[in-house]
Structure 1
Amino acid sequence: MPRIAEARQPAEPTSDEQKDRYRRILKAASKLGAVHGLERMQMADVAKEAGVAIATLYRYFPSKTDLFVAVLHGQVNTLSASAVKEPDSVGNAGAVADVLIAAGRRLLERPQLATAMLQANNAAQLQGGREYTEANAAFHRVLLDALGVDEPVDEDLRMVRIIEQTWYGVLISVLNKVINIEQAEEDVRLAARLLLGPRYDEGQTS
């Protein structure tokens, strides 16, 4: 199991120098996590690869959970609903499926790292914290943008959470070699159509 984060919140980089160190740490964690996964990767190796003191690493990331959630957050920040087809051509549910499939393909390029990020995300759900909250909110915003929802109500947020949880489950099935990537993408499209289509493509609000 990943080490449980300490009570204190991770420090947030503010200066350009701190932000550079922060980026180097995330890059090092991505590199080493892709080879060793969550359990076998050592924080000392991340610090060495990033060229920072171990105390600096722990100041920003008190645990591997914090570190890999931040790596996931970085990947989420590169997602954009504008990178997929316009909803007019594929429907809002299809636009969300496109976003999730694109994100899944990127994650699955490095299975060990994907597993590490998903394990960390699951652990972080129990802990909360800034990185998890920000990563979660950023991902939900990408999906809401794909749905064409500017001011979500509670039901919109619930729908986004449900499709996100479904997507995570599909990814885990691929990582566990239960299904292949092609089946996973078909499952994501089916889930988006069934869960989101009635409300966002057919105009039904109940």
Structure 2
Amino acid sequence: MPRIAEARDAAEPSSQEQRARHVRMLTAAAELASEKELARVQMHEVAKRAGVAIGTLYRYFPSKTHLFAAVMVDQLERLASRSARKPAYDAPQDAMRAVLVRATRGLLRRPALSTAMVMSTSTANHDLVPDAARVDRMFRQMLLDAAGIAQPTEVEVTSVRLLIQLWFGVVQSCLNGQISLTQAESDIRRACELLLVDLRDPRRNGSGDANGVAPAP
């Protein structure tokens, strides 16, 4: 597991030049982690490939955990932009399943990188690595958006949270070679059937509450 060097806030890019450097660092990290396992990716290699000083890299990413949690956020943002152009589905459960299947297929195209991202985000302390918590929030919002649910109930929020946790386990099993992609997609389909049984269809019930359950804050 990557070590968190310090418990301190990472810097955020504020200028166009800083944002460009930030993108280069994320790109360099993703390239290196696609070529070899996380333990062999060195921060000085990332800095060199990105064309920045090692101090600059550590300013934005205090550890490899911070770095690859940020890479995961970047990958999810790309997935979210593609998911926005989604086709129509018969049920919100189908829409959520489609998002998870697309995410799974995308991750498995670069298994070494995906292992680095999943390991970093799933083991990180959310208080020390804010991007790890951001991954969870982004995934939840992406699934709710796909289902067309603007004001989820407490039950729906819980169901989606459990679905995301299960999905991470399925992806990890796939990356470890325990199950095939076909089995992973079958597991995702079954998980959606079981965990999303109480999911509302906003096309039928509107955007208000369902069965008298108040929306979650």
- TM norm structure 1: 0.92
Taking a change above 3 Å as real, the CA distance of residues 193 and 128 of structure 1, as seen in their structure-2 partners, is: farther
Q: Distance in 2 between matches of 1:106 and 1:191?
A: 19
- TM norm structure 2: 0.87
Alignment size in residue pairs: 204
Q: Which residue of 1 aligns with 2:51?
A: 51
Runs ≥4 residues deviating over 6 A? none
Deviates more, 1:101-110 or 1:144-153: 144-153
Q: Distance in 2 between matches of 1:126 and 1:8?
A: 12
- Superposed, which structure 2 residues align to 1:102-117 within 5 Å? 102-117=102-117
One-letter identity of the residue aligned with 1:199: L
Q: Which residue of 1 aligns with 2:20?
A: 20
Is the 8 Å Cα contact of residues 93 and 199 (structure 2) preserved in structure 1? no
Deviates more, 1:74-83 or 1:141-150: 74-83
Q: Distance in 1 between matches of 2:199 and 2:45?
A: 48
Q: RMSD in angstroms over aligned alpha carbons?
A: 1.9
Is the 8 Å Cα contact of residues 94 and 193 (structure 1) preserved in structure 2? no
1:85-142 C-alpha deviation (Å, 9 max, x unpaired)? 323x3x1111101001101111110111111001101222454433223222112110
Write 1 or 2 for the structure with the bigger share of helix: 1
Q: Distance in 1 between matches of 2:155 and 2:197?
A: 14
Identity of aligned residues (%): 44
Taking a change above 3 Å as real, the CA distance of residues 19 and 126 of structure 1, as seen in their structure-2 partners, is: closer
Shift of the alpha carbon at 1:70? 0.4
1:157-181 C-alpha deviation (Å, 9 max, x unpaired)? 2111111011111111111111110
Deviates more, 1:180-189 or 1:22-31: 180-189
Q: Which residue of 1 aligns with 2:35?
A: 35
Return 5+ residue gaps in structure 1 as ranges. none
Q: Which residue of 2 aligns with 1:86?
A: 88
Q: Distance in 2 between matches of 1:74 and 1:46?
A: 16
Return 5+ residue gaps in structure 2 as ranges. none
